[in-house]
Structure formats: structure tokens, C-alpha cells
Amino acid sequence: MLPHLAAYFASRQLDASSFPYRLFSPGRINLIGEHTDYTGGYVMPAAIDKGIYFYARPIAEPVLRLYAADLQENAVLDLPVRGKSGQLWADYLAGIVDQFQQLGYVVPGLEIIFGGDVPRGSGMSSSAALEGGMAFLLNAVVEAELSRPALAQLAQRSSNTFIGVPTGIMDQFASLNGSAQGPILLQCATLDFHPINATLPGYSWLLVNSLVTHELGSSQYPIRVAECARALAALQSIYPGLDNLSAATLPQLDAVADTLDAVAFRRAYYVISENARVHRMAQALAEGEVARAGTLLNATHAGLRDDYAVSCEEIDFLHYQATEVFQGGHVAGARIMGGGFGGCTINLVRTSDVPALQAFLAEAYQDAYHITPEFYPVQIGPGTRWMSECVSTKYCAANE
């Protein structure tokens, strides 16, 4: 058990075994395919070994008694849920309850204690881990028997309609459906997916956390969604068979360039190019082509910086230092990961050079910004899962 969770249980003299529902909901990384999920494209995410641990038990009162160990905050929500509470972390859970209510399920009273080790603001999607974990929990509690992809869709609907953020489905889907075999190649329009092997002998994936999160992130996300919608509308005026922006080609985009504003054109150019890069990355990984994989990562970073405009000074500094300045080692490529305006870079590094890269970036970043970055070696793992035997052995076994 994580130290802050253990401390809470000890302070209340609680026994974790008295909580029959115990599950782990992972965060996620994304190798490539950024900002293409809400445009119907391909992405390449993976569930990781950092995430959120849930402990839940039934209570007689028609309420949710919630404790967020990371924040050391409590909330009590009346059931049925009828709207937002005003606490964002609690609303992420309330939104999932609301979705089950809309499907006709009666959610009983529960006490839920949760906490995790996903660094907030890092781009590893702690919010999706929170949503996915709650959906997985309630699926068992009310015996809904929804599939994992259906739970991801439910969590996305909650983000879109209850929280009010127009996210795509990648984060929730990766957290719930991740594979220990490797990242998944996910087609976001159809939800077709399969695991792929991302092991490149002699190389490792390393996250570097800038420890900055700019407020632009939350305000610019819906703007990017709207800009992509403008581009799709222009394309569909000539190519009505296009279902989504990621399905378009660059020649098709060129054909409508005169009817599009420059900003919407650049956003669409990035999306279409990125969707193609995902396919090329899958091929590079399958063939063990480290140099090609690194080139694709760098191209994605350039696109996110220049065409999609979601990078920031600190992230660009970390990328440049790792790929252009670092000497005596080899970084094949790197890019910003996540929604943008801060968070982490993901780096493809020769394994033997990881310690030297960490030391180099720590010094350079401290000198430039007076911040010491954090480093996370990536361990890919399975999606949301029970930590131990739950209430219904038959149900849990069927959903592993």
C-alpha cells in the first residue's frame, strides 16, 4: 500500500481487508498519436505501473463518502447524484455515477478511499485513471457487466457532458484496456485495437517531467477541438464521405486551403500528418528501426510545437537539450506528451545512457529554470484490475 494511503488507514484504525472492492487503475503514456483521438485517428497509448488505488465498501446511508488521500480532502455526495459538487476531483467520480444512473442503475451507498502515484499535471492522465477506476468499480457494484471498451465510452461521456471537457477517448480507453504485451494501436473512430511490441533492444523509454503546467492547457483544448471541427466542415463540403479529420489526406486539405483560415489549416495539417506518423511508427517498432522511430518522435514534437501550438518554452528546452545538445550518449528522439503546455517529454534513449541523460538534463534545466525535473522509467502493464479477490469471484474472473 502507498505510504499516504497506509497513513490514512492507520489514522482511522481501518483494516484494508474490510474493503471488499480493491482495485488499481493505471495512468497512461502515449508513444505517438497526440491530439488525434478526438479527430477519429490512430493513437499508440499504453497503461503503466503508476496509477490510482481504490478501496471501497458498501454503507447503509444513500451517500458516497469519499476520501482523496493525495489531497487529504473529504467529500460526501448525496445519492442519487443530481449535479456537480464544486470539488473537481469529486465531480470526476460523481460524473461516473451520473452515467450509471442514466443507464437505469441505482448506485448504493459507498465509502471510497483512493490515492495514487501518478504525478498530477505530468500528462500521464491521472483524471482518466480516476474515471476509469470508478467506472470499473461501479460496474461490479451494480453488476452492469459492461465491457471494458463500453466503460471507456461511459467515462468519456462523463468527461464531455458532466465535467464539460471535450476529450477524446484515448486516455480512458488506454487505462481500462491496456496490455502487458505492450502499447495498443487504437483506432479511435471504431475502437478497434491490438497490442504491439514496443521493445527496441538496447533502448528504453524515459519520461522527463518539466514540473510546469501552464493554465493555457484547460482553455486551449476546446479551442483546438473547434479548430479541427472547422477544418473537417470545409473538407466535408467537397468530400462528404469523410467521417473524421484523421481520415483526410494532405492533397484533400490542399484542395480546401482557400476556404480555410490559416490557423485551422495548420491544425488540420498536423492531425493528418500525425495520423500517418502513427502507422509509420508501428512499422518502425515492428522492424526494430530505432533511428526511424526517433525521427518520428521529433517530427511529432515539431508538429505539436509549430502547427498545433501546444508546447511551451520549458518543454522545448528539454527536447532540444536531449536531442541536440546531449553529448556522450544517444537519444534517438523525444517529444512532448499529453495535452500540452507543460508536463512530460517522452524520450527514446539508449539504455546505457539513461543515467548520463538524467544528470545532464537535471543540471541544464536547473541552470535555466531553477527547477529540477523528475525522471520516470516507463513500465508498461495491463489495464484496470482487481488488486485481490473481490465480492463476486465469478464476476471478477469474467472481467479480468
As given in the structure block, the three cell numbers for residue 104 are: 437505469
User: In the 8-state DSSP scheme, what is residue 163?
Assistant: I
Q: What is the pLDDT of residue 134?
A: 98
Q: Which CATH architecture has domain 203-377?
A: 2-Layer Sandwich (3.30)
The single-letter code of the amino acid at 364 is A
Q: What is the pLDDT of residue 119?
A: 76
CATH topology of domain 3-197+381-398: Ribosomal Protein S5; domain 2 (3.30.230)
Residues 300, 302, 306, 307, Cα dihedral to 10°:
-20
Q: What is the pLDDT of residue 395?
A: 43
As given in the structure block, the three cell numbers for residue 108 are: 448504493
Query: Which residue spans within 105-201 are E strands per DSSP?
Result: 110-116, 184-187, 192-195
Strand 110-116, strand 63-68: pairing: parallel
CA distances from 353 to 22, 169, 193, 206, 331 (A): 38, 35, 33, 11, 8
Q: What is the pTM of this model?
A: 0.93
pLDDT by residue (tens digit) across 286-321? 999 999 999 999 999 999 999 999 999 999 999 999
Rounded-to-integer distance, Cα 270 and Cα 41, Å: 12
Rounded-to-integer distance, Cα 299 and Cα 125, Å: 23
**Beta carbons of 344 and 301 less than 8 angstroms apart:** no
Listed in order, the ranges of the chain carrying CATH 3.30.230.10 are: 3-197+381-398
pLDDT by residue (tens digit) across 319-354? 999 999 999 899 999 999 988 999 999 999 999 999
**Beta carbons of 297 and 335 less than 8 angstroms apart:** yes
Low-confidence ranges of the chain (pLDDT < 70): 120-122, 215-217, 389-400
Q: What is the pLDDT of residue 393?
A: 43
**Beta carbons of 144 and 160 less than 8 angstroms apart:** no
Rounded-to-integer distance, Cα 268 and Cα 292, Å: 24
Q: What is the pLDDT of residue 388?
A: 74
The single-letter code of the amino acid at 394 is K
Listed in order, the ranges of the chain carrying CATH 3.30.70.890 are: 203-377
Q: What is the pLDDT of residue 400?
A: 42
As given in the structure block, the three cell numbers for residue 15 are: 483494516
Q: Which residues are the active-site residues? A: 171
